Structure 1
Protein backbone atom coordinates (compact mmCIF):
# COMPACT_ATOMS: atom_id res chain seq x y z
CA UNK A 1 0.00 0.00 0.00
CA UNK A 2 1.29 3.43 -0.87
CA UNK A 3 1.91 5.78 2.01
CA UNK A 4 -0.76 8.44 2.39
CA UNK A 5 -0.19 11.57 4.41
CA UNK A 6 -3.42 12.25 6.33
CA UNK A 7 -2.51 15.96 6.36
CA UNK A 8 -2.25 16.20 2.57
CA UNK A 9 -5.27 17.74 0.84
CA UNK A 10 -4.11 16.17 -2.42
CA UNK A 11 -4.04 12.64 -0.94
CA UNK A 12 -7.65 13.07 0.17
CA UNK A 13 -9.00 15.07 -2.75
CA UNK A 14 -11.93 12.65 -3.19
CA UNK A 15 -12.88 12.57 0.48
CA UNK A 16 -16.08 14.52 -0.13
CA UNK A 17 -17.30 11.69 -2.36
CA UNK A 18 -16.64 8.98 0.22
CA UNK A 19 -19.54 7.07 1.70
CA UNK A 20 -19.86 6.17 5.36
CA UNK A 21 -18.53 2.65 4.75
CA UNK A 22 -15.47 4.05 2.97
CA UNK A 23 -14.60 6.27 5.90
CA UNK A 24 -15.24 3.48 8.41
CA UNK A 25 -12.92 1.15 6.52
CA UNK A 26 -10.15 3.75 6.35
CA UNK A 27 -10.42 4.22 10.10
CA UNK A 28 -10.56 0.49 10.89
CA UNK A 29 -7.66 -0.57 8.69
CA UNK A 30 -5.37 1.83 10.56
CA UNK A 31 -6.26 0.33 13.95
CA UNK A 32 -3.35 -1.78 15.19
CA UNK A 33 -5.58 -3.96 17.39
CA UNK A 34 -7.83 -4.76 14.41
CA UNK A 35 -4.77 -5.63 12.32
CA UNK A 36 -3.50 -7.96 15.04
CA UNK A 37 -6.91 -9.66 15.39
CA UNK A 38 -7.18 -10.10 11.63
CA UNK A 39 -3.71 -11.60 11.37
CA UNK A 40 -4.51 -14.07 14.13
CA UNK A 41 -7.34 -15.56 12.08
CA UNK A 42 -6.22 -18.80 10.49
CA UNK A 43 -6.35 -19.28 6.74
CA UNK A 44 -8.98 -22.01 7.19
CA UNK A 45 -11.14 -19.67 9.28
CA UNK A 46 -10.88 -16.92 6.69
CA UNK A 47 -11.86 -19.22 3.82
CA UNK A 48 -14.97 -20.42 5.65
CA UNK A 49 -16.16 -16.91 6.50
CA UNK A 50 -15.25 -14.34 9.12
CA UNK A 51 -15.87 -15.71 12.62
CA UNK A 52 -18.91 -14.36 14.42
CA UNK A 53 -16.90 -13.07 17.41
CA UNK A 54 -14.51 -11.14 15.15
CA UNK A 55 -17.40 -9.57 13.20
CA UNK A 56 -19.16 -8.54 16.40
CA UNK A 57 -16.07 -7.09 18.04
CA UNK A 58 -15.30 -4.87 15.06
CA UNK A 59 -18.86 -4.10 14.01
CA UNK A 60 -18.45 -5.76 10.64
CA UNK A 61 -21.59 -6.44 8.67
CA UNK A 62 -21.75 -7.58 5.06
CA UNK A 63 -24.95 -7.16 3.11
CA UNK A 64 -25.65 -8.09 -0.47
Structure 2
Protein backbone atom coordinates (compact mmCIF):
# COMPACT_ATOMS: atom_id res chain seq x y z
CA UNK A 1 0.00 0.00 0.00
CA UNK A 2 1.54 3.26 -1.10
CA UNK A 3 0.54 6.20 1.09
CA UNK A 4 -1.15 9.17 -0.55
CA UNK A 5 1.16 12.09 0.23
CA UNK A 6 -0.46 14.76 -1.98
CA UNK A 7 -2.20 16.49 0.93
CA UNK A 8 0.25 15.80 3.75
CA UNK A 9 0.78 19.47 4.54
CA UNK A 10 -2.92 20.28 4.68
CA UNK A 11 -4.11 20.24 8.30
CA UNK A 12 -7.72 19.87 7.17
CA UNK A 13 -6.81 16.45 5.77
CA UNK A 14 -6.26 15.26 9.34
CA UNK A 15 -9.09 17.13 11.12
CA UNK A 16 -10.97 13.88 11.74
CA UNK A 17 -8.22 12.83 14.17
CA UNK A 18 -9.25 15.62 16.55
CA UNK A 19 -12.30 13.52 17.53
CA UNK A 20 -10.98 10.02 16.82
CA UNK A 21 -11.04 7.49 19.62
CA UNK A 22 -8.25 5.10 20.58
CA UNK A 23 -9.74 2.29 18.48
CA UNK A 24 -9.72 4.44 15.34
CA UNK A 25 -6.11 5.43 15.90
CA UNK A 26 -5.08 1.83 16.59
CA UNK A 27 -6.84 0.62 13.44
CA UNK A 28 -5.24 3.34 11.32
CA UNK A 29 -1.77 2.35 12.51
CA UNK A 30 -2.45 -1.38 12.17
CA UNK A 31 -3.89 -1.22 8.66
CA UNK A 32 -0.74 0.55 7.46
CA UNK A 33 1.55 -2.10 8.93
CA UNK A 34 3.08 -4.22 6.15
CA UNK A 35 3.31 -7.37 8.30
CA UNK A 36 -0.36 -7.08 9.27
CA UNK A 37 -1.30 -6.65 5.60
CA UNK A 38 0.62 -9.84 4.80
CA UNK A 39 -1.13 -11.72 7.62
CA UNK A 40 -4.56 -10.54 6.50
CA UNK A 41 -3.80 -11.49 2.88
CA UNK A 42 -2.84 -14.95 4.17
CA UNK A 43 -6.29 -15.37 5.73
CA UNK A 44 -8.02 -14.37 2.50
CA UNK A 45 -5.71 -16.53 0.39
CA UNK A 46 -6.31 -19.76 2.38
CA UNK A 47 -10.08 -20.06 3.02
CA UNK A 48 -9.80 -23.72 4.12
CA UNK A 49 -7.88 -22.76 7.27
CA UNK A 50 -9.34 -19.27 7.62
CA UNK A 51 -10.84 -19.84 11.08
CA UNK A 52 -7.58 -21.20 12.49
CA UNK A 53 -5.50 -18.54 10.76
CA UNK A 54 -7.81 -15.75 11.96
CA UNK A 55 -7.44 -16.90 15.56
CA UNK A 56 -3.66 -17.20 15.22
CA UNK A 57 -3.31 -13.78 13.59
CA UNK A 58 -5.79 -12.23 16.01
CA UNK A 59 -3.70 -13.43 18.93
CA UNK A 60 -0.53 -12.12 17.30
CA UNK A 61 -1.99 -8.64 16.78
CA UNK A 62 -4.30 -8.53 19.81
CA UNK A 63 -7.48 -8.57 17.71
CA UNK A 64 -10.91 -10.16 17.77
CA UNK A 65 -12.63 -11.05 14.51
CA UNK A 66 -16.41 -10.90 15.12
CA UNK A 67 -17.21 -13.18 12.19
CA UNK A 68 -15.59 -15.63 9.85
CA UNK A 69 -13.06 -14.05 7.45
CA UNK A 70 -14.66 -14.75 4.11
CA UNK A 71 -15.65 -12.62 1.14
CA UNK A 72 -18.62 -10.31 1.63
CA UNK A 73 -20.13 -11.36 -1.68
CA UNK A 74 -20.40 -14.66 -3.49
CA UNK A 75 -18.19 -15.38 -6.44
CA UNK A 76 -19.73 -15.85 -9.86
CA UNK A 77 -18.93 -19.05 -11.76
CA UNK A 78 -17.73 -16.96 -14.67
CA UNK A 79 -16.22 -13.52 -14.69
CA UNK A 80 -19.22 -11.85 -16.34
CA UNK A 81 -21.87 -14.26 -15.07
CA UNK A 82 -25.34 -12.64 -14.95
CA UNK A 83 -26.63 -15.27 -12.55
CA UNK A 84 -29.34 -16.44 -14.96
TM-score (norm 2): 0.56
The alignment of Structure 1 onto Structure 2 pairs a total of residues equal to: 60
Structure 2: 5+ residue runs without aligned partners? 67-84
Alignment partner, residue 54 of structure 1: 57
Partner Cα separation in structure 2 for residue 26 and residue 43 of structure 1: 25
Larger radius of gyration: 2
Going from structure 1 to structure 2, the CA distance change for 1:21 and 1:49 (only over 3 Å counts) comes to farther
Q: Answer 1 or 2: higher relative contact order, Cα 8 Å, separation at least 6.
A: 2
Going from structure 1 to structure 2, the CA distance change for 1:54 and 1:7 (only over 3 Å counts) comes to farther
What's the RMSD between the two structures over aligned residues?
2.7
